[in-house]
């Protein structure tokens, strides 16, 4: 069981370092994704305000 957990943690570490490498190599993609997320969150917030009022 412990080996499985260790393997899983190792996989998560690898995944994390892959994401980190991607972020360093493609900062403009990350900014674009963050802008998209921000727009989505703003639309959700505005929709909720309208629903409440």
| Count of the separate structural domains present in the chain | 1
17 in Cβ contact with 9 (< 8 Å): no
What local confidence, expressed as pLDDT, does residue 21 receive?
82
Nearest by Cα to 30 from 19, 41, 39, 14: 19
Helix H segments across the chain?
A: 2-25, 27-52
Write out the residue range of the structural domain in which residue 36 sits. 2-52
pTM over 0.75: no
Q: How many CB atoms lie within 10 A of CB 30?
A: 14
Q: Which pLDDT tens digit goes with each residue over 1-39?
A: 566 667 667 777 778 788 788 777 888 888 999 999 999
30 in Cβ contact with 23 (< 8 Å): yes
């Amino acid at each position: 069981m412990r080996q499985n957990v260790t393997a899983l943690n190792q996989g998560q570490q690898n995944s994390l370092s892959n994401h980190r490498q991607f972020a360093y190599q493609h900062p403009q993609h990350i900014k674009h994704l963050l802008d998209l997320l921000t727009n989505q969150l703003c639309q959700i917030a505005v929709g909720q305000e309208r629903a409440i009022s």
